[in-house]
């Protein structure tokens, strides 16, 4: 069976490792050296006690903190670390990577100020022969329980799509392909902004009408920015787009939803982030997208409202009132 490397042992990285291992693929799971206890618990107890407590992992996973050892274990490498760490990790890994390597980003974030996508960073920092992105409505806590789910792997190369499909796909995890790497990555990053906003709306006690209104306009804003950045607008209607938006913006399993819910109830942003214990990618993405939209005169009022609550001290109810009284007549 095709061996697999996963760089990053957070909840999603560990879940990807478990999916591949349960399909019979030997998996090397790289853990940050500062998290050596995670590697020890995976190897000795088949559990990631920090990020996925309570779930027994496949015996086909072997954890290591040695990056060179991990990169040598396979030419198929999944990158699953916070977006702010991707460039540094790729620089560290570059001496151990060659044109034979296929690098698949599962990180849902953008690098400011130009909103650089993760696979572009991979291309800039390594000699990988091919890159791909994987994104979709993939709440790790549901997937490790065996609940049916789907994802999208995006690449210009059909053999790469087929290979990722063969490694991860199964009766409870369906893998679709896409040629629109730009769109799939943008969907995965942008929806986190609106997951924060949806958590805020829930915290304010708003109901189904408000949620439906909010998510529909969120999808419009995502599509507006995405098409300006070269994405296929149809991608935003699919699993990587609206599918991921719905999952992340409606589930308390979503870290971004929980963060928005906590902030709107009065928890300071820094304290809410500490309480999560993991990265909420929507926070830096909100800041980066708001700055980019302002610089390029892109109309994204809901993203601006979320930014105002998170970073400008605006009362959430005032932000909602400003949205509801905007001078607009037709949907655009």
- pLDDT reported for residue 219: 97
Whether the predicted pLDDT of 253 surpasses 80: yes
In the chain, the percentage of residues whose pLDDT exceeds 70 is 100
Average pLDDT, the chain: 96
Q: Mind listing the pLDDT tens digit for each residue in 13-56?
A: 999 999 999 999 999 999 999 999 999 999 999 999 999 998 99
- CATH, domain range 4-179: 3.40.50.720
Note the pTM of the prediction, 2 decimals: 0.95
Distance CA 132, CA 157 (A): 9
Q: Which of 68, 110, 75 is nearest to 89 (CA)?
A: 68
**Is there a contact between 194 and 218 (Cβ–Cβ < 8 Å)?**
yes
- CATH, domain range 188-324: 1.10.1040.10
Distance CA 152, CA 236 (A): 12
Residues forming the active site: 191
Domain ranges of the chain: 4-179, 188-324
- pLDDT reported for residue 331: 83
């Amino acid at each position: 069976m095709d061996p697999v490397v996963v760089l990053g042992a957070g909840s999603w990285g560990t879940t990807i490792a478990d999916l591949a291992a349960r399909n019979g693929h030997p998996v090397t799971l790289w853990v940050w050296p500062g998290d050596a206890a995670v590697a020890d618990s995976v190897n000795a107890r088949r559990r990631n006690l920090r990020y996925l407590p309570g779930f027994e992992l496949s015996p086909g996973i072997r954890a290591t903190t040695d990056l060179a050892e991990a990169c040598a274990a396979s030419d198929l490498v999944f990158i699953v670390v916070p977006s702010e760490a991707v460039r540094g990790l790729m620089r560290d890994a570059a001496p151990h990577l060659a044109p034979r390597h296929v690098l698949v980003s599962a990180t849902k974030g953008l690098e400011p100020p130009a909103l650089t996508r993760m696979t572009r960073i991979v291309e800039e920092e390594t000699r990988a022969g091919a890159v791909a992105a994987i994104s979709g409505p993939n709440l790790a806590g549901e997937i490790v329980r065996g609940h049916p789910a789907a994802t999208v792997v995006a690449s210009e190369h059909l053999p790469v799509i087929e290979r990722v499909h063969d490694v991860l796909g199964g009766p409870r995890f369906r893998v679709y392909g896409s040629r629109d790497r730009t769109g799939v990555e943008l969907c995965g990053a942008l929806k986190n902004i609106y997951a924060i906003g949806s958590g805020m709306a829930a915290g304010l006690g708003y109901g189904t009408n408000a949620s439906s209104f909010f998510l529909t306009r969120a999808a419009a804003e995502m599509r507006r920015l995405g098409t300006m950045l070269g994405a296929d607008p149809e991608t935003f209607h699919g699993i990587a787009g609206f599918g991921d938006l719905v999952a992340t913006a409606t589930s308390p399993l979503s870290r971004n939803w929980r963060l928005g819910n906590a902030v709107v109830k009065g928890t300071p942003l820094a304290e809410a982030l500490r309480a999560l214990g993991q990265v909420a990618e929507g926070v830096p993405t909100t800041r980066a997208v708001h700055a980019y939209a302002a610089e390029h005169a892109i109309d994204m009022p809901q993203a601006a409202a979320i930014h105002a609550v998170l970073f400008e001290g605006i009362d959430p109810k005032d932000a909602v009132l400003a949205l509801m009284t905007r001078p607009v007549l037709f949907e655009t």
